[in-house]
């Protein structure tokens, strides 16, 4: 463009001297040269300053590295991967030095630790780095100066805390906080470190200048140990002491995981509905839904006894939220979400069955005819619809005495108590007073299960909830608050088959009086009966004696009377002979008749004497006989009276004896509650 401009100017008349334009151009060129030269000198100065700063940063980084190499492991652990920063001023420039120290893996994967890989272990070496930054470096966006190296602290050990799901871990447990406390070997205050496991299920505490440390795992809501405790290692124990090998990684395993739960669905004979005929043995059939209130989840893999938990349809209010409460009957129940999730690799599932303790295990009670349901639970999840088999308990409640009911064997149903419901308490006797379940140290749950009897013509007089756990001994108690001022009926039974006690139903007769009362009355009547019996036997003996005496005297009287009659007859004969001979003598004067007359008179007098003697003996015998007869009659009357009284008391005694044997398996007592 300049060239074009010059060409358009008229040519000068003379070529000597400088024109104005030439001067301007020359000045411009000189200015450009000067500016370029000065700029080059400035760039050289700036480059030199940056290099000096970089070199100074390198020196500071090296100094930092030397410091870190001499630091103990505890100091490196404190610095950690988050770093420690400080500033230093050199020649008016402020430098920021950031130090970091990260524990390095000993072998295997580059990750710090893993509970499932035995080769992936953390050593006791630290990767240390020192990064130096300064204002000019940031302004020019140049890279910071970083120096790094691998060092092994002069003193210290490493502790790896592994949160496992099993002794042979198949996965780690995340979210578990480990608190490690130690006292440095050289003395000083206790040092506390804390980390939380990640997806690998482990944390590493490196550079511990001590040969022992205490590990505490703070309680985590919803987590549980293999022994069923809510806190690791267990309730009442806060820490575990761990011995550390110098300059080596010590592994400390904890088995602590989020608990799972089981939802039990009660079942009878493989069905959710049970049908049977009504009280009269006719249709329409009665439909009942199997229900329950508690169940057992047992696992022999728990590290200590008790090795079972109890699930329920209802639980106590805080502070005992895991304590099962009985007597709320529903088709299903759920355990606390507090069951350790044993992995399937251990082949130790949870065994689930109805009841309150291991004494209700149907496998042992039914000789394996019925077996528990086996399931595994997952952390934080509920295993639903787990079938729980039950037995069937038949209660027949009558409003009449056993004797009357038995007299109408074909129509016993007519005597069921169908009008008024009675309270029923079933006690799981074998579980009472035994080892309580491991429900987070809950107080021993009640083994008493309260329900009622049914009403109505079709199905009245039975249990409202007849589906019960298997077991060798139960006590069923019925309360009748109206009967005799309040009576309690207790009977023991067992459930060793699917049909429960159907072969021998529990039969209770409400008019049955208290056993102690019946026994007391019977004892009193037995005493009275014994007294009357003794009196009767005494009078009978006396009567027998008097009767024998009477018979003896009567025989004697009879003998004397016969003798008397004989002598009297002889006397009459001799007297007649005497009188005849006397009359002939007087009539004829014949001496022969006189001789006979005199002889006859002698015989007659002798016979008269004998006759008189026999008469006296006879009269005496008659008197004795009459006396004996009177005594005998009196004794007979007393004997008959005693016999009548004895028979009356005997009848009452035998009646009470019969009443006592009625409902012999049922103990009846006065009371207003089934305690």
Q: Residue 122: which pLDDT band, with cuts at 50, 70 and 90?
A: low
Q: Give the start-to-end residue ranges of the domains of the chain.
A: 73-258, 261-512, 517-661
pLDDT for 571 equals 84
Strand order in the sheet with 121-134: 84-90, 93-107, 121-134, 145-151
Q: How wide is the angle at C-alpha 381 spanned by C-alphas 379 and 384, nearest 5°? A: 135
Q: Residue 648: which pLDDT band, with cuts at 50, 70 and 90?
A: confident
Q: Residue 366: which pLDDT band, with cuts at 50, 70 and 90?
A: very high
Q: Residue 235: which pLDDT band, with cuts at 50, 70 and 90?
A: low
Full DSSP string of 47-59: HHHHHHHHHHHHH
* Range among 188-197, 368-377, 540-549 rated most confident: 368-377
Low-confidence winner among 45-54, 161-170, 179-188, 421-430 (lowest mean pLDDT): 45-54
Q: Which of 213, 216, 191, 202 is nearest to 122 (CA)?
A: 202
pLDDT for 196 equals 92
- Computed over every residue of the chain, the mean pLDDT equals 84
Q: Which of 154, 112, 149, 111 is nearest to 129 (CA)?
A: 149
Better pLDDT: 218 or 639: 218
- Which letter, b or e, does each residue of 18-47 get, where b requires 16 or more Cβ atoms within 10 Å of its Cβ? eeeeeeeeeeeeeeeeeeeeeeeeeeeeee
Q: Over the Cα atoms of the chain, what is R_g?
A: 60
501-526 pLDDT tens trace: 777 899 999 999 888 888 887 788 77
3-state secondary structure 196-217: ECCCCCEEEEEEECCCEEEEEE
CATH class of 517-661: mainly alpha
pLDDT for 640 equals 86
- Which residues touch 190 (CB under 8 Å, ≥6 apart)? 181, 182, 183
Q: Residue 656: which pLDDT band, with cuts at 50, 70 and 90?
A: low
Angle at which helix 515-588 crosses helix 591-661, to 10 degrees, equals 170
Q: Residue 102: which pLDDT band, with cuts at 50, 70 and 90?
A: confident
Tokens of 546: 């008097």
Tokens of 170: 């198949």
Average pLDDT on 471-482 reads 95
Tokens of 562: 């016969």
Q: What sections of 494-590 are H helices per DSSP?
A: 515-588
pLDDT for 276 equals 94
Q: Residue 305: which pLDDT band, with cuts at 50, 70 and 90?
A: confident
569-610 pLDDT tens trace: 888 888 888 888 888 888 888 888 888 878 888 888 888 888
Low-confidence winner among 379-393, 476-490, 597-611 (lowest mean pLDDT): 597-611
Other CB atoms within 10 A of residue 420 CB: 14
| Cα–Cα distance measured from residue 194 to residue 188, given in angstroms and rounded to the nearest whole number | 19
Query: Is 240 within 8 Å of 215 (Cβ atoms)?
Result: yes
pLDDT at 4 over 70: no
Sign (positive/negative) of CA torsion 514, 516, 520, 526? positive
Full DSSP string of 440-481: SSPPPPP-EEEEEB--STTT-SSBS--EE--EEEEEEEEEES
Q: Which residues pair with 477 in a beta bridge?
A: 425, 490
Query: Is 392 within 8 Å of 499 (Cβ atoms)?
Result: yes
pLDDT for 393 equals 95
Other CB atoms within 10 A of residue 303 CB: 15
- pTM for the full predicted model: 0.69
pLDDT for 178 equals 92
Which stretches of 226-355 are assigned E, i.e. beta strand?
240-243, 249-258, 261-267, 274-276, 286-288, 294-298, 308-312, 332-334, 350-354
Q: Residue 21: which pLDDT band, with cuts at 50, 70 and 90?
A: confident
| Cα–Cα distance measured from residue 148 to residue 68, given in angstroms and rounded to the nearest whole number | 10
pLDDT at 278 over 80: yes
Q: Residue 289: which pLDDT band, with cuts at 50, 70 and 90?
A: very high
> 73-258: what fold?
Immunoglobulin-like (2.60.40)
pLDDT for 507 equals 94
| Cα–Cα distance measured from residue 355 to residue 364, given in angstroms and rounded to the nearest whole number | 14
pLDDT at 1 over 50: no
Q: Which residues pair with 449 in a beta bridge?
A: 426
Dihedral class, residue 484 (left if φ above 0, else alpha if ψ from -120 to 50, else beta): left
Q: Is 288 helix (H, G, I), strand (E, B) or coil?
A: strand
3-state secondary structure 97-151: EEEEEEEEEEECCCCCCCCCCCCCEEEEEEEEEEEEEEHHHHHCCCCCEEEEEEE
334-350 pLDDT tens trace: 999 989 999 998 899 99
603-629 pLDDT tens trace: 888 888 888 888 888 788 888 888 888
Backbone angles phi, psi at 8, to 5 degrees: -75, -15
pLDDT for 17 equals 53
Query: Is 458 within 8 Å of 283 (Cβ atoms)?
Result: no
pLDDT for 575 equals 84
Q: Residue 39: which pLDDT band, with cuts at 50, 70 and 90?
A: low
Average pLDDT on 637-651 reads 83
By residue count, the chain amounts to 675
Q: Which of 520, 418, 424 is nearest to 481 (CA)?
A: 424
pLDDT for 320 equals 72
Query: Is 198 within 8 Å of 112 (Cβ atoms)?
Result: no
pLDDT for 45 equals 53
């Amino acid at each position: 463009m300049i060239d074009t401009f010059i060409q358009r100017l008229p040519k000068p008349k003379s070529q000597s001297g400088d024109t104005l334009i030439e001067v301007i151009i020359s000045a411009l060129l000189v200015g450009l040269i000067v500016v370029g030269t000065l700029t080059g000198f400035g760039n050289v100065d700036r480059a030199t300053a940056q290099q000096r700063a970089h070199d100074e940063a390198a020196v500071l980084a090296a100094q930092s590295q030397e410091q870190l190499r001499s630091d103990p492991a505890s100091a490196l652990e404190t610095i950690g991967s988050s770093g420690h920063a400080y500033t230093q001023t050199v020649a008016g420039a402020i430098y920021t030095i950031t130090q970091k120290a990260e524990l390095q893996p000993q072998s295997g994967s580059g990750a710090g630790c893993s509970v499932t890989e035995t080769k992936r272990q953390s050593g006791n070496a630290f990767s240390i780095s020192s990064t130096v930054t300064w204002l000019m470096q940031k302004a020019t966006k140049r890279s910071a100066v970083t120096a790094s190296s691998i060092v092994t602290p002069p003193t210290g050990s490493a502790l790896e805390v592994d949160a496992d799901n099993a002794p042979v871990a198949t996965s780690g447990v995340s979210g578990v906080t480990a608190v490690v406390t130690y006292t440095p070997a050289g003395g000083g205050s206790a040092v506390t470190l804390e980390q939380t496991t990640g997806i690998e299920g482990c944390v590493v505490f490196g550079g511990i200048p001590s040969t022992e440390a205490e590990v505490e795992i703070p309680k985590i809501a919803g987590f549980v140990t293999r022994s069923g405790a809510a806190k690791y290692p267990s309730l009442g124990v806060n820490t575990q002491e761990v011995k550390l090998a110098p300059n080596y990684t010590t592994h400390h395993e904890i088995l602590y995981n989020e608990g799972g739960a089981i939802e039990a669905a009660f079942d009878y004979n493989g069905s959710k509905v049970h049908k049977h005929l009504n009280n009269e043995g006719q249709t329409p059939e009665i439909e009942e839904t199997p229900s329950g209130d508690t169940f057992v989840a047992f696992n022999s893999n728990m590290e200590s006894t008790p090795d079972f938990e109890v699930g329920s349809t209802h639980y106590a209010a805080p502070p005992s939220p895991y304590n099962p409460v009985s007597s709320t009957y529903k088709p299903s129940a759920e355990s606390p979400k507090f069951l350790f999730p044993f992995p399937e690799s251990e082949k130790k599932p949870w065994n689930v069955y109805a009841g309150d303790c291991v004494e209700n295990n149907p496998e042992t009670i039914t000789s394996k005819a019925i077996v528990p349901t086996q399931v595994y639970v997952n952390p934080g999840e509920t295993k639903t619809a787990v079938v729980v088999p039950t037995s069937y308990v038949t209660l027949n409640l009558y409003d009449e005495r056993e004797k009357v009911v038995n007299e109408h064997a074909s129509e016993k149903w007519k005597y069921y108590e169908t009008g008024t419901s009675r309270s029923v308490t079933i006690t799981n006797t074998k579980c009472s007073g035994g080892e309580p379940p491991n429900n987070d140290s809950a107080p021993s749950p009640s083994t008493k299960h309260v329900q009622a009897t049914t009403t109505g013509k079709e199905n009245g007089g039975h249990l409202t909830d007849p589906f019960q756990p298997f077991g060798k001994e139960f006590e069923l108690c019925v309360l009748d608050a109206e009967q005799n001022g309040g009576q309690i009926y207790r009977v023991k039974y067992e459930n060793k088959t699917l049909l429960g006690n159907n072969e021998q139903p529990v039969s209770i007769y409400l008019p049955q009086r208290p056993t102690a009362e019946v026994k007391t009355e019977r004892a009193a009547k037995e005493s009275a009966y014994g007294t009357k019996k003794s009196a009767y036997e005494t009078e009978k003996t006396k009567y027998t004696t008097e009767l024998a005496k009477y018979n003896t005297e009567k025989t004697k009287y009879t003998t004397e009377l016969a003798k008397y009659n004989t002598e009297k007859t002889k006397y009459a004969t001799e007297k007649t002979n005497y009188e005849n001979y006397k009359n002939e003598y007087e009539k004829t004067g014949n001496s022969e008749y006189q001789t006979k007359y005199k002889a006859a008179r002698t015989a007659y007098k002798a016979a008269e004497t004998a006759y008189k003697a026999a008469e006296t003996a006879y009269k005496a015998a008659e008197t004795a006989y009459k006396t004996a007869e009177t005594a005998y009659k009196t004794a007979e009357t007393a004997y008959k009276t005693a016999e009548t009284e004895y028979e009356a008391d005997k009848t009452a005694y035998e009646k009470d004896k019969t009443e006592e044997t009625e409902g012999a398996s049922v103990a009846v007592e006065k009371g207003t509650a089934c305690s």
